[in-house]
Structure 1
Amino acid sequence: MVEAGLARGEDDVEAYALQVDALHREPNRRDLAWRLGLDEQVTDERLRLAEMRNFIGALVRPGR
């Protein structure tokens, strides 16, 4: 991430990872979701899994 210019250093990467871990443990933390730029499509497990199922279903649909 540092080499790609997405973070200034490893401390930034670690701080980001800690926020992602915290949001995983507490998906209702709107403050963390906002900081990370995530919405309910990611934080709501039901919606996230539905999106994944739809994607996988589209990949294996006959005639593709």
Structure 2
Amino acid sequence: MNNKVKIARVQMDLTQQELAEKVGVTRQTISLIEKGKYNPSLNLCLEICYVVNKTLDELFWRDDEKNER
């Protein structure tokens, strides 16, 4: 995810624990999402977007343009 979730979380002045509580998962799940080691469900992606006031595209869209070169 290129740390987009982490950047958005920090911009909202939230800890991993606080974000986890707001979206109903564990802190470890948030940590894994931020590291790109966990693929969240669409519902969880939407919950995270709502809490950090970002769109799905802003947080979860993959930039495959780099991979085409």
TM-score band by shorter chain is 0.3 to 0.5
If the length of structure 1 is used for normalisation, what is the TM-score?
0.34
Answer with 1 or 2: which has the greater Rg. 1
